[in-house]
Homo-oligomer: A and B are copies of this chain.
Amino acid sequence: MSDAAASPTPEPARRRGVTRRRLLGAAGAVGAAGLAGGGYAVGAAVADDGPGARHGATVPFHGEHQAGIATPAQDRLVFAAFDLLTEDVAQVRELLQIWTHAAEQLTAGRAVGTLAGNDGEPPEDTGEAHELPASRLTLTFGFGPSFFVVDGEDRLGLARRRPEPLRPLGPLPGDQLDPARSDGDLCVQACSDDPQVAFHAVRNLARLGRGVVVLRWTQLGFGRTSTTSRSQATPRNLMGFKDGTNNIRAEDAGKMARHVWVGADEPQRWMRGGSYLVARRIRMLIESWDRAAIDEQERVIGRRKVSGAPLGREHELDAVDLRAAGADGRPLIDVDAHVRLASQDAKDGIPLLRRGYSFTDGIEPRTGQLDAGLFFIAYQRDPHRQFAALQRRLGTTDALNEYIKHVGSGLFAVPGGVRPGGWIAEGLFARA
């Protein structure tokens, strides 16, 4: 690429230039081989007629919005945050072009290049997903506040392109954040029904970014966990409760437009059709929770454990009635119950599109307790008026706080979708 000549660090740029030429050259051949071998057509619509069809399906990469937001949640998550190693905007732009090409291949169930090397070069794809279906892989890219400005410094010359809502969330009540699991200049959310496919994608994106970005933190998660048990329509979290009953439905275009998608009124054109991603690593204090009586657990959540019904109601999908009172005149749903404070339906409700995954990362060395909980991802138009406002409310009064800790946090601007022939966040780099 011509940009490579201007690079202050010619070696990685040259390497990436070679890689990119290879990728672009190899794409046709790999694609053709994939089709000949009964592979997956690019942009085939998702079929969800059964576990088989579901696993083999692909989700189109191109569109008005990035995939992975309104896409029905896949079973597995690999989330990766990256830090920039360069101040050269041309290198970053080139990386996003390379990532776009790789994402087009990966989400279509193809390798990012040849599994064999050429001329003694390393293989262009690491190979562990060879012959595995895409399993609805989506790759969703975002930009943190620190991508634009660090300590007041306009590190890439793009500060004027930073959208107004992309400013740090600031301290929130109950924060116990670990910097090693928080923030990041860029992020990739990889979701797939197959963990090896999601891991393979992040690993190869990291590999293609070598010299320009470095992994800062990653998080694995699992959501819906059985391909056959459709009776468990709403997955249970690690507290044993159904989680996500009252989420915004992605099919509800009106709510999505009002609460999730950045609209045409956003002055930063590159963010139109995009959204803001808030990620929170929420550690559950499993051992304390497991010692709580069922009445206490249900009081804290405000729902029945087995059925998922709101207290005072019978069925999971029954509306939450925050005014219902028992014979003693006290509210059936406690004043500090999680479902009351987090309700999206109440008149002061704050709607968010949630995409939560359970995680379990072994033992906390200090205490011997399980390091497990919920990796909470929310999409919204305005993270300050939505997630942060909600968390300020929950963080001070939610009965659940006794059993959880927020230990990681990230905020990322997720630009609109990529058109065929375009690349991720293209408008961010457009000459004004």
The complex places the Cα of A311 from the Cα of B125 at a distance, in Å, of 21
Query: Are A305 and B218 closer than 8 Å at their CB atoms?
Result: no
**Min C-beta distance of A236 to chain B, whole Å:** 5
The complex places the Cα of A360 from the Cα of B226 at a distance, in Å, of 21
Q: Nearest B residue to A121 by beta-carbon distance?
A: B293
Other-chain contact of A226, B78, B194, B297 (Cβ < 8 Å): B194
Given contacts A215-B368, A226-B133, A237 and B292 within 8 Å (CB-CB) = no
Q: How many copies does the complex hold?
A: 2
Which residues does chain B contribute within 8 Å of A135, judged by CB atoms?
Answer: 226
Q: How many A residues have CB within 8 A of the partner chain? A: 74
Query: Are B123 and A207 closer than 8 Å at their CB atoms?
Result: no
Query: Are A126 and B290 closer than 8 Å at their CB atoms?
Result: yes
Other-chain contact of A370, B128, B215, B222 (Cβ < 8 Å): B215
Which residues does chain B contribute within 8 Å of A306, judged by CB atoms?
Answer: 115-116, 127, 130
**Min C-beta distance of A285 to chain B, whole Å:** 13
Name, among A225, A240, A291, A295, the residue most crowded by chain B CB atoms within 10 Å (CB to CB). Answer: A225
Q: Cβ of A420 < 8 Å from any Cβ of B?
A: no
Given contacts A126-B290, A360-B220, A228 and B52 within 8 Å (CB-CB) = yes
Query: Are B51 and A228 closer than 8 Å at their CB atoms?
Result: yes
Query: Are B286 and A203 closer than 8 Å at their CB atoms?
Result: yes
Query: Are A238 and B292 closer than 8 Å at their CB atoms?
Result: no
Query: Are B225 and A127 closer than 8 Å at their CB atoms?
Result: no
Other-chain contact of A362, B115, B131, B218 (Cβ < 8 Å): B218
Q: Nearest B residue to A82 by beta-carbon distance?
A: B368
The complex places the Cα of A225 from the Cα of B134 at a distance, in Å, of 11
Query: Are B360 and A225 closer than 8 Å at their CB atoms?
Result: no
Which residues does chain B contribute within 8 Å of A360, judged by CB atoms?
Answer: 78, 199, 218, 220
**Min C-beta distance of A414 to chain B, whole Å:** 22
**Min C-beta distance of A56 to chain B, whole Å:** 5
Besides A127-B239, A130-B306, A196-B222, 9 other A-B contacts (C-beta < 8 A): A51-B227, A55-B228, A126-B240, A196-B226, A196-B236, A207-B287, A220-B360, A361-B361, A361-B362
Show the binding face of A for B, using Cβ within 8 Å.
51-52, 55-56, 78, 115-117, 120-123, 125-133, 135, 180, 194-197, 199, 203, 206-207, 210, 214-220, 222, 225-229, 231-232, 236-241, 286-287, 290-295, 297, 305-306, 358, 360-363, 365, 368-370, 372
